Amino acid sequence: MGATSGIGFEVAQLLARRGWKVGVAGRRADILQKMVEQTEGMEAFEVIDVTRPEATEGFHRLVEKLGGLDLYFHSSGIGYQNTALEADKELGTIETNCLGMARLVGEAFRYFEAHAEEVGHIAVISSIARTKGLGAAPAYSASKRFTSHYLESLCQLRKIKSLSNLRITDIRPGFVRTPLIEGSNFPLQLDAARVAVSIVDGLERNKSVVTIDWKYCLLVSLWQLIPRCIWVRMKIH
């Protein structure tokens, strides 16, 4: 989900190259159709806008086209540097990254619960931005905190429901050079294709959390040590 650009595009391509049978979804029909026509292993596509209630119907249509589902990978997200707190950007980010994510990830969870005898996997892109509130991108960093906590809750719910065959992975990249942060001043920007390799390697090893890369693992560890009273005084752009 969210396969037409950025990390989602790179992961879809890599999964297909590694022998997966891939279905792709997003809002751009032209890109999705070209991906399926030009890439061996990409079997089907569905135009889906995660902010629309009917997105769940598109999810099931795509699963039907593929003949089943082993891995649901959610990479649909938007974000802005928005120090002006423009309402349409803030609310649009929340609608896509929080409501849209919960709509589709929840539907995937219910699908795997209904097929509990089969091995299933849900993987979602959150971000290292989940660690602290970022004044340059308030809604974005808050939405990634929401995503990460939602996945943590689903891990616990999986135990409550005894879904032993369901795996859940929280993917936490650092700042990746994609259209999402184009024009930003965020440091240590990563290459999307290399990030995709780390993601797929982590998925194939069934890791529950994938933080990319080692520099960001160190950075996040340091961020977590900073008291809130000091953090809110820092100017991070």
Ranges of each domain in the chain: 6-231
- pLDDT for 25-50, tens place per residue? 999 999 999 999 999 999 999 999 99
CATH number of 6-231: 3.40.50.720
List, in order, residues 6 or more apart from 43 with CB less than 8 Å away: 21, 22, 23, 36, 65, 66
Q: pTM of the prediction? A: 0.91
pLDDT of 233: 87
Pairing verdict, β 166-173 and 209-212: parallel
Query: What percent of the chain shows pLDDT beyond 90?
Result: 74
Of 13, 28, 7, the closest CA to residue 178 belongs to: 7
Query: Which comes out higher in pLDDT, residue 226 or 235?
Result: 226
Rounded Cα distance between 161 and 98, Å, is 24
pLDDT tier at 183, thresholds 50, 70, 90: low
pLDDT (average), residues 8-32: 96
User: Which residue in the block uniquely carries the two structure tokens 């030009």?
Assistant: 38
Kindly tell me if the per-residue pLDDT of 178 is higher than 70.
Answer: no
pLDDT of 81: 87
